[in-house]
Amino acid sequence: MKAHIGPALRLTLVLLVLLSVIYPLVVAGIAKLAPGGGDGVTITANGRVVGYAQVGQKFTQDRYFNSRPSAVEYNAAGSGGSNKGPSNPDYLKTVQARIDTFLVHNPGVNKADIPAELVTASGSGLDPDLSPAGAKIQVARIAKVRNISAERLNQLVDQHTEGPLLGIFGPAKVNVLALNVALDQLK
Protein backbone atom coordinates (compact mmCIF):
# COMPACT_ATOMS: atom_id res chain seq x y z
CA MET A 1 0.00 0.00 0.00
CA LYS A 2 2.88 2.36 0.81
CA ALA A 3 4.16 1.83 -2.73
CA HIS A 4 0.96 3.37 -4.09
CA ILE A 5 0.71 6.41 -1.81
CA GLY A 6 3.82 8.19 -3.13
CA PRO A 7 2.87 8.04 -6.83
CA ALA A 8 -0.74 8.96 -5.99
CA LEU A 9 0.36 12.07 -4.08
CA ARG A 10 2.77 13.11 -6.86
CA LEU A 11 0.05 12.61 -9.49
CA THR A 12 -2.38 14.63 -7.35
CA LEU A 13 0.10 17.51 -7.02
CA VAL A 14 0.93 17.49 -10.74
CA LEU A 15 -2.77 17.53 -11.69
CA LEU A 16 -3.49 20.20 -9.08
CA VAL A 17 -0.86 22.52 -10.59
CA LEU A 18 -1.82 21.64 -14.15
CA LEU A 19 -5.58 22.02 -13.78
CA SER A 20 -5.72 24.75 -11.13
CA VAL A 21 -2.91 27.02 -12.33
CA ILE A 22 -1.61 26.32 -15.81
CA TYR A 23 -4.90 25.52 -17.57
CA PRO A 24 -6.75 28.63 -16.24
CA LEU A 25 -3.80 30.84 -17.23
CA VAL A 26 -3.81 29.40 -20.77
CA VAL A 27 -7.57 29.97 -21.09
CA ALA A 28 -7.25 33.53 -19.76
CA GLY A 29 -4.40 34.19 -22.21
CA ILE A 30 -6.50 32.96 -25.14
CA ALA A 31 -9.43 35.10 -23.94
CA LYS A 32 -7.19 38.18 -24.15
CA LEU A 33 -7.00 37.58 -27.90
CA ALA A 34 -10.82 37.69 -28.24
CA PRO A 35 -12.72 40.91 -29.02
CA GLY A 36 -12.94 42.99 -25.86
CA GLY A 37 -9.87 41.29 -24.39
CA GLY A 38 -11.96 38.71 -22.54
CA ASP A 39 -13.90 41.39 -20.68
CA GLY A 40 -16.79 41.65 -23.14
CA VAL A 41 -17.39 44.06 -26.00
CA THR A 42 -18.85 47.35 -24.84
CA ILE A 43 -21.04 49.67 -26.89
CA THR A 44 -20.51 53.37 -26.36
CA ALA A 45 -22.56 56.44 -27.20
CA ASN A 46 -21.40 60.00 -26.67
CA GLY A 47 -18.23 58.78 -24.99
CA ARG A 48 -19.89 56.62 -22.36
CA VAL A 49 -20.57 52.89 -22.16
CA VAL A 50 -24.26 52.14 -22.69
CA GLY A 51 -24.09 48.35 -22.57
CA TYR A 52 -22.45 45.14 -23.64
CA ALA A 53 -22.80 43.66 -27.10
CA GLN A 54 -23.47 40.19 -25.68
CA VAL A 55 -26.27 41.12 -23.25
CA GLY A 56 -29.74 42.16 -24.35
CA GLN A 57 -31.48 45.26 -23.06
CA LYS A 58 -35.13 46.18 -22.92
CA PHE A 59 -36.39 48.62 -25.54
CA THR A 60 -40.14 49.20 -25.59
CA GLN A 61 -40.53 52.78 -26.81
CA ASP A 62 -41.99 53.06 -30.31
CA ARG A 63 -39.02 55.19 -31.40
CA TYR A 64 -36.61 52.26 -30.96
CA PHE A 65 -36.23 48.77 -32.35
CA ASN A 66 -37.71 46.42 -29.77
CA SER A 67 -35.55 43.70 -28.27
CA ARG A 68 -36.34 40.05 -27.96
CA PRO A 69 -38.46 39.41 -24.84
CA SER A 70 -36.67 38.16 -21.74
CA ALA A 71 -37.92 35.60 -19.24
CA VAL A 72 -35.54 37.08 -16.62
CA GLU A 73 -36.15 40.79 -17.34
CA TYR A 74 -32.64 41.14 -18.82
CA ASN A 75 -30.97 40.39 -15.47
CA ALA A 76 -27.51 39.15 -16.44
CA ALA A 77 -26.90 37.89 -12.91
CA GLY A 78 -29.55 35.20 -13.35
CA SER A 79 -29.96 34.17 -16.94
CA GLY A 80 -32.51 31.55 -17.89
CA GLY A 81 -35.64 30.75 -19.83
CA SER A 82 -39.18 30.36 -18.61
CA ASN A 83 -38.94 26.53 -18.72
CA LYS A 84 -42.52 26.38 -19.95
CA GLY A 85 -43.23 24.15 -22.92
CA PRO A 86 -45.00 25.28 -26.10
CA SER A 87 -48.26 23.68 -24.96
CA ASN A 88 -48.29 25.26 -21.48
CA PRO A 89 -51.41 27.47 -21.13
CA ASP A 90 -49.53 30.18 -19.19
CA TYR A 91 -46.82 30.29 -21.84
CA LEU A 92 -49.40 30.51 -24.62
CA LYS A 93 -51.12 33.43 -22.83
CA THR A 94 -47.79 35.23 -22.47
CA VAL A 95 -46.95 34.77 -26.15
CA GLN A 96 -50.45 35.87 -27.21
CA ALA A 97 -50.15 38.99 -25.03
CA ARG A 98 -46.82 39.79 -26.71
CA ILE A 99 -48.38 39.29 -30.14
CA ASP A 100 -51.29 41.57 -29.26
CA THR A 101 -48.95 44.26 -27.93
CA PHE A 102 -46.76 44.03 -31.02
CA LEU A 103 -49.76 44.38 -33.33
CA VAL A 104 -51.03 47.42 -31.43
CA HIS A 105 -47.68 49.17 -31.81
CA ASN A 106 -47.12 47.98 -35.39
CA PRO A 107 -50.42 48.47 -37.25
CA GLY A 108 -50.48 47.00 -40.70
CA VAL A 109 -48.39 43.97 -39.74
CA ASN A 110 -50.07 40.59 -40.10
CA LYS A 111 -49.84 38.20 -37.17
CA ALA A 112 -48.39 35.50 -39.44
CA ASP A 113 -45.54 37.84 -40.47
CA ILE A 114 -44.22 38.44 -36.94
CA PRO A 115 -40.87 36.64 -36.49
CA ALA A 116 -41.01 34.23 -33.56
CA GLU A 117 -38.09 35.90 -31.78
CA LEU A 118 -40.16 39.05 -31.21
CA VAL A 119 -42.72 37.19 -29.09
CA THR A 120 -40.70 34.36 -27.52
CA ALA A 121 -37.84 34.65 -25.03
CA SER A 122 -34.51 32.99 -25.67
CA GLY A 123 -33.15 30.20 -23.52
CA SER A 124 -30.85 32.60 -21.66
CA GLY A 125 -33.27 35.52 -21.52
CA LEU A 126 -30.36 37.77 -22.51
CA ASP A 127 -30.24 37.45 -26.31
CA PRO A 128 -29.01 40.81 -27.68
CA ASP A 129 -29.73 40.02 -31.32
CA LEU A 130 -32.63 39.82 -33.74
CA SER A 131 -32.79 38.42 -37.22
CA PRO A 132 -32.77 41.03 -39.99
CA ALA A 133 -36.46 40.20 -40.54
CA GLY A 134 -37.15 40.89 -36.85
CA ALA A 135 -35.63 44.34 -37.20
CA LYS A 136 -37.12 45.18 -40.60
CA ILE A 137 -40.68 44.39 -39.57
CA GLN A 138 -40.39 47.29 -37.09
CA VAL A 139 -39.14 49.82 -39.67
CA ALA A 140 -42.57 51.25 -40.59
CA ARG A 141 -43.36 52.10 -36.95
CA ILE A 142 -40.01 53.78 -36.32
CA ALA A 143 -40.11 55.65 -39.64
CA LYS A 144 -43.48 57.12 -38.70
CA VAL A 145 -42.49 58.06 -35.13
CA ARG A 146 -39.10 59.55 -36.06
CA ASN A 147 -40.11 60.97 -39.43
CA ILE A 148 -37.28 59.11 -41.17
CA SER A 149 -37.71 57.33 -44.48
CA ALA A 150 -38.23 53.58 -44.33
CA GLU A 151 -35.56 53.25 -47.00
CA ARG A 152 -32.98 54.95 -44.75
CA LEU A 153 -33.95 52.73 -41.81
CA ASN A 154 -33.67 49.59 -43.94
CA GLN A 155 -30.19 50.73 -44.96
CA LEU A 156 -29.32 51.19 -41.28
CA VAL A 157 -30.51 47.66 -40.51
CA ASP A 158 -28.48 46.32 -43.44
CA GLN A 159 -25.37 48.19 -42.20
CA HIS A 160 -25.75 46.58 -38.76
CA THR A 161 -26.46 43.06 -39.99
CA GLU A 162 -23.69 40.59 -39.20
CA GLY A 163 -23.47 37.57 -41.45
CA PRO A 164 -23.01 34.02 -40.21
CA LEU A 165 -19.71 33.21 -38.49
CA LEU A 166 -17.17 32.38 -41.22
CA GLY A 167 -20.02 32.69 -43.69
CA ILE A 168 -21.58 29.35 -42.75
CA PHE A 169 -22.14 29.00 -38.99
CA GLY A 170 -25.39 30.39 -37.59
CA PRO A 171 -27.88 32.89 -38.94
CA ALA A 172 -27.45 36.54 -39.86
CA LYS A 173 -28.15 38.80 -36.89
CA VAL A 174 -28.59 42.41 -35.84
CA ASN A 175 -27.47 43.65 -32.42
CA VAL A 176 -30.41 45.70 -31.14
CA LEU A 177 -28.41 47.94 -28.82
CA ALA A 178 -25.87 48.85 -31.52
CA LEU A 179 -28.72 49.45 -33.97
CA ASN A 180 -30.58 51.74 -31.56
CA VAL A 181 -27.40 53.69 -30.75
CA ALA A 182 -26.88 54.23 -34.49
CA LEU A 183 -30.56 55.19 -34.83
CA ASP A 184 -30.13 57.92 -32.20
CA GLN A 185 -27.10 59.24 -34.10
CA LEU A 186 -29.03 59.72 -37.36
CA LYS A 187 -29.64 63.35 -38.24
pTM of the shown model: 0.79
Domain spans of the chain? 1-39, 42-185
pLDDT at 80: 77
**pLDDT reported for residue 92:** 93
Whether residue 180 is predicted with pLDDT greater than 80 in this model: the reply is yes
For 73: left if phi > 0, alpha if psi spans -120 to 50, otherwise beta; the answer is left
| pLDDT for position 165 | 84
pLDDT category at 55 given cuts 50, 70, 90 is: confident
State how far the Cα of 142 lies from the Cα of 155, in Å rounded to an integer: 13
> Would you state the torsion angle of the CA atoms of residues 62, 68, 73, 74, taken in this order, to the nearest 10 degrees?
-110
117 vs 130: CA distance, rounded Å: 7
Per residue in 146-170, pLDDT tens? 999 999 999 999 999 999 888 889 8
Question: Nearest to residue 181, comparing CAs of 87, 84, 57, 95?
Answer: 57
Radius of gyration of the chain (CA): 23
